[in-house]
Structure 1
Amino acid sequence: YTPESDAGPDDYRCFLMEWPEEETVWVTGYELLPGNTQVVHHIIPFLIEPSSADAYRALDAADADPGYRCYGGPGGNVDTLLETRWLGAWAPGVPASVLPEGTGIKVEPGSLVVFQVHYNLINGSAPDQSGLALTIETEPQAFAEIQPLTDVRWVLGVGMDIPPESTSVSHSWSTTISSGFTMHNGSLHMHQLGRAGRLWVEHADGTEDCLLEVDDYDFDWQRPYELKEPVRVMPGDTIHLSCTWDNPTGDTVGWGDGTGDEMCLGVSLITG
């Protein structure tokens, strides 16, 4: 696919892959393979449940070009979006990932994978053929999931404004947990204005576990950091996320997929 855009330097494209396996399997590792890093800004492969697959096939069929235009996710409506899961993620600096032994992401026959690719054309367009490599197991594995962590209000354009010509602007979010799980790593995604960020767990007894603290954020180095000891999160514990930006531009910047927009997104691999 050769990206193009008639509305600024960004092209958001979703590509479908019919899941090839005919029995239930568990994904135990993944590697995103960006074909052309001159234009690829990020890739998120979304796993679509069989019950929602036809809605995404219809989006693909309605667009004459390869894939279909999508913004902020795999497309679809709210009902189908609630059923999607991440099957990995790539941004500059992110390596391959192997899930903890004995765990996996369950995939049923008839599922779809939707590759959401954000192309940035500020340096011009060029062809791309990105890919995804997976390791799978046919024997049942314990629950695992790649969990995005952010404030849904920010995604909807509320509460994350970064004023023009400002420095050290911070926004924070937290959520109290209702069921237990284990966190194995942490990563942080912002864009070009990102300066610092932190992701941590506040336990009900007042103690804290820091998953990730970045004092000098670099867009080209967004890898997940594996914890020496996984952190167990119990009901009543609170997960916190904080991001800080410098905005030298003359415009207010908020949440968006564009390179000139911003994000504050934590991601963690969790198991049951």
Structure 2
Amino acid sequence: MTNIRHCGHTWLILLLTILLLPGLSARTQAEDDIKAHKTPPQRVRVGVYPFSPFAEYDDQGQLRGMAQRLIAILNQHQQQLTFEAVPVSPKRRYQAYLNQDVDAFLYENMKWGWARRNIDIRASQPYQSGGELYIAQAAPGRDQRFFEQLQQRHLVGILGYHYGFAGYNSDETFLRDNYQITLTWDNQKVLDLLQRGHGDVALMSEAYWQRFVQQNPAKASQFLVSEKYDQHYSHSILIRPQLLGQHQLDNLVREITRRRDFRQLILDYGISPHQ
């Protein structure tokens, strides 16, 4: 009799196990499916054009400068988006965006052609300040008056950049028709042309000039730097509106600018946070 009861209990346990096992397996499988199908971060292609020291490319075409480090900070801070750099030229950055080859830009400003072209792109609150200076070679008797009549000077600037003296019109035909100007590709080439006497006044980002002086203090006295600026500007993140709402974008900027690695970044380059 005891054996019969024991066998009965055993069969009951086996029956319950058989009945419950599919439910347990289904729940485990559902949990595995959720984990396996977790929404991956959305890819954001950041258009990066040479803009020293914010974005520079080495001889192997590898991105260097502040943009590289800011992209790393953005990726470390959040998991919703994955930012990656895509090389573009400053002149063709608008078309690259319209063609959906890129989705965002760092160290950018709506005044630099975006608003005038009425392009649908969202700008974050500013996170960094900067400006463009006039640089000339020092010479006996040369002082700040040298920068007063720019139309009488041979200028050296960068193709695709928007300068205050020209009303932010970056069209190279307009610039060459109205000014004596040589347009090249980056700040280092601008400075090289000035030093070789291929121009009278170079236009250069304050950030690049500060770094040049830090790295070459003995050469600073060879140049005359304007006290007035060609322009003051603020930097924002520009991004495709479908990727982030305005509130999300501004929150992201607020969060990253509070981070120690961002503060170290601007300190390393002698840059000013947004004032």
Q: Please give the range of the TM-score, normalised by the shorter of the 2 chains.
A: under 0.3
Query: Normalization by structure 1: what TM-score?
Result: 0.23
For the pair shown, the structure with the greater C-alpha radius of gyration is: 2
Where is the helix percentage greater, Structure 1 or Structure 2? 2
| Greater share of residues in strand | 1
